[in-house]
Structure 1
């Protein structure tokens, strides 16, 4: 729904089924991503330099650290997810520039 390339057949099947049930359902996902983008942009623009993304999911386009570190290159972002596959993808794809810092934690919110 967000245009990312890292997904699985089960994800594509679930998305297909969801769209059959609600053809405009993809809009909810995109609105959620738009809200995240606006929220972290506002926070970084107002001086926040530490961000926590809980329930990261597979990386997609315009991740938190990319948005934040474009505004504040020294910002720190920690991604948290309990799926080890997500964290493998995160370690490969979610890297920051030399001024900021990006890290990943395998944990469950509960």
Structure 2
């Protein structure tokens, strides 16, 4: 992979990390504690709020996982290992990297 391609992927990763940070900031309110004020909110509405809170927390876990994977991809870039399969050492197809910027295995190794 040449330096222009590497920079292209670096910019895509940094852009995605920025998007994830913005989504995390926007989702903070949805993860807050649900108040137990039955006078202001009915029982079903409170159950909906609890369900929405649980979904927001699950989304944050998924975002955190993706952030970790992307940061690992940046570290592989710094070590000149980005774009190469961590199992067999072959180059990972650019199309695969475009779909999953944090891919660390080629299609053959990933499929088992």
TM-score (norm 1): 0.32
Q: Which has the higher strand share?
A: 1
Q: Which has the higher helix share?
A: 2
TM-score (norm 2): 0.32
